[in-house]
Structure 1
Amino acid sequence: MGSDHFSDMILADLIQEGYEGKELLGKFREKQTALRGAVQHLITESGDAARQYKKDSQTEELFTDVMGD
């Protein structure tokens, strides 16, 4: 799923909500900006979680088949 897919979804939702013309364009830009912010936040959070990850026996037990030796 690329950003074009999300753009299509955003646009479809806004059209369904009844936005048209300049108002549609403005709302579309707002939603795209919010989406970028949300994605950046998720990237930051996942990076933080990865840095804080500590290997433990439960994780090893759950993911033995994909972790290798």
Structure 2
Amino acid sequence: MRVFVEAALVRHAAKHATPRDIGELRDALEANRAAIARQEHAREVLETAHPPRREHDAEGVPPAWR
């Protein structure tokens, strides 16, 4: 459903957009790309900041501490 709505919006914009509208769309797209990049960077930071959990032996001691 979303694909059809977005396609209709793009078609309408292509037929009726003014140069100002195009500039606003360009700015919004750039802001969206920047937000995605920040989100991906944040995900990478979280994945590397917290090392995976290590296996523990029966007494709850990580193998590296033995």
TM-score by length of 2: 0.52
Aligned to 1:48: 45
19, 23, 29: which one pairs with 1:22? 19
What percent identity do the matched residue pairs reach? 12
Structure 1 or 2: more helix by fraction: 1
Q: CA deviation at 1:43?
A: 0.3
Name the CA distance, whole Å, in 1 between partners of 2:52 and 2:30: 36
Name the CA distance, whole Å, in 1 between partners of 2:24 and 2:47: 35
The letter of the residue matching 1:52 is: A
The letter of the residue matching 1:45 is: A
Q: CA deviation at 1:54?
A: 3.8
In the TM superposition, structure 1's runs of 4+ consecutive aligned residues that sit over 6 Å from their partners are: none
| Structure 2 unmatched ranges of 5 or more | 54-66
TM-score by length of 1: 0.50
How big is the alpha-carbon RMSD for the aligned residues of Structure 1 and Structure 2?
A: 3.1
Aligned to 1:34: 31
